[in-house]
Amino acid sequence: MLLPAWEMCVYGLLAVGSHLYAFYEAHQVSRKYEAAMDRRFGLEPGTLFQGLKKDPMDFEWSYWIEWGRERILWLLAGHLLVSQVSRLLVEKYKPWCLMAYGMAACWLLLGIKGFAVILLHATISFAVAQFQLSLLTWLCSLILLSTLRIPAVEEAKRKWYDTENEYYLLLFTVSVRCLFCTSFSLEYCWHGPAQKSSHSFLWMLAYVFYYPTFHNGPLMNFDEFSKQMRRQEAFNLKTNLSILIVGIIRIFFWWCLAELMIHLMYIHALYSSALPLEAASYWALGGLALAQVLFFYVKYLVLYGVPALLLQMDGLKPPALPCCVSLMHSFTKMWRSFDVGLHRFLVRYIYVPMGGSQSSLLGTLFSTALTFAFVSYWHGGQSYLWYWGALNWLGVIVENGVKRILSISPIQDLIERFFSPRIRRRLHAVLASVSTSMLILSNLIFLGGNHVGKIYWNRIFMEGWPWATLTVLGFLYCYSHIGIEWEQTYAAN
């Protein structure tokens, strides 16, 4: 530990204390507007926590929990059964057993037409990959992705299903499958003739229809999937059973925590109304922001935790689960540590091929911009997503620019000469607190839309200057110290 223990304890106490008090204020403002939110949005009666009402306004959470309860969890249990039996009896044919099960589950859930759409996407991607031109493969992927946003095609697909929820399941599934098809096709382009047997159409289907990651990810690049799926390991029922039990307990805890948050704080309902945000105290405003980003984190511990557990049961190594957002102190760290699978995809297939950090300054700016442009478009391409992408691009560029400047030999020598390691660490936290404030603002735009971002910008940085702004940066300074210490300890271990 670089800083004195007492100093780190002070930062820790201030970080934990500010979180708890901010959550208390967010809870109070939720109680204050409970009747208004209930009339406008229809708060649901609490089932898990009696006597409390539940905020149903997070579409993604409500949607996947409903589908999971009705069909998807049962289909995942079926996958687990097929996987364990095939590992026990026919390990050599496990990929094909799981492929057949994934195709059957897709057919059952999305119908013959939904199944045909995904099979068609895979077939077209594989056919285009035969030309072994990366640019052509990307053009094909973008065209296939753009078909999801053609109004006439959307209307035709809606008619296949009785409910909007069924149509959205197809939409979300195809969006994720597009990334899997792109990963396979680019790997096909980059591998020589001797390796083509491991990149056959059958392997593409095994990858695309692998059920645990089918509807919502997490993303796993084809080469990682293929190598691990081919690896044959000794099957140990006792070890697998202990992994399953511990995993289920952990996921159940995360689910309870997420449910508790939306019973105690009506984050999403309040974010859908400008008046409460404009009238709330600064502490309540900060509490709602912290609750929003932390709920997003816990939500993805559940949504990625379930498929990650099944990947482990299949003998695969899943991408790491999201890192706690309260420990994030930079845009770069956020992108590397939250959705690890998506980050690997973006780096391997967009950032590095376009030159990345090894190219000129303009080349780096362009490759980074292209990466964030693709992410914004893939997520839906709405205006608030372009603002979110632009803020993240700017944040990453500024962080890397400052890092490059400070690493120049004469400047580095001056810093080491005039500032002790402890002073340098504190200055690092000062810079990180500014970066974190912009990171939180960009995430609020992503999660709440442009109007939420504007309200926070005006209240904290315009109307609240200087005291509210400096207070926020002061607490973020404490959070940054905790995040930096955690990162350095984790890296050392």
Question: Known catalytic residues?
Answer: 379
From first CA to last CA, the distance across the chain in angstroms is: 13
Q: Residue 473, exposed/middle/buried by CB under 10 A (0-12, 13-18, 19+)? A: middle
Q: Are 312 and 79 in contact (CB under 8 A)?
A: no
Query: Which structure tokens are listed for 17?
Result: 């204390």
Q: What is the CA radius of gyration of the chain?
A: 24
Euclidean distance between CA atoms 43 and 118, whole angstroms: 36
Euclidean distance between CA atoms 475 and 293, whole angstroms: 16
Q: Please state, in angstroms and as integers, the Cα–Cα distance from residue 78 to each residue in 51, 74, 83, 104, following that order.
A: 36, 6, 9, 11
Query: Which structure tokens are listed for 244?
Result: 């399953």
Q: Cα 320–322–327 angle (5° rounding)?
A: 120
Q: Are 281 and 55 in contact (CB under 8 A)?
A: no
Euclidean distance between CA atoms 266 and 10, whole angstroms: 31
Farthest CA pair distance, the chain: 70
Sign of CA dihedral 214, 217, 223, 225: negative
Euclidean distance between CA atoms 126 and 184, whole angstroms: 8
Helices (H) and strands (E) in the chain — how many of each? Answer: 22, 2
Q: Report H helices in 379-466.
A: 383-406, 409-418, 421-448, 450-456
Contacts of 411 (CB under 8 A, 6+ apart): 405
Helix (H) or strand (E) holding 54: strand 53-54
- Reduced to 3 DSSP states, what percent helix, strand and coil does the chain have, rounded to the nearest 5? 80, 0, 20
Q: Are 382 and 402 in contact (CB under 8 A)?
A: no
Q: Could you give phi then psi for residue 37, rounded to 5 degrees?
A: -65, -35
Q: Are 147 and 48 in contact (CB under 8 A)?
A: no
Q: Could you give phi then psi for residue 45, rounded to 5 degrees?
A: -60, 135
Q: Please state, in angstroms and as integers, the Cα–Cα distance from residue 50 to each residue in 44, 69, 372, 458, following that order.
A: 11, 20, 43, 38
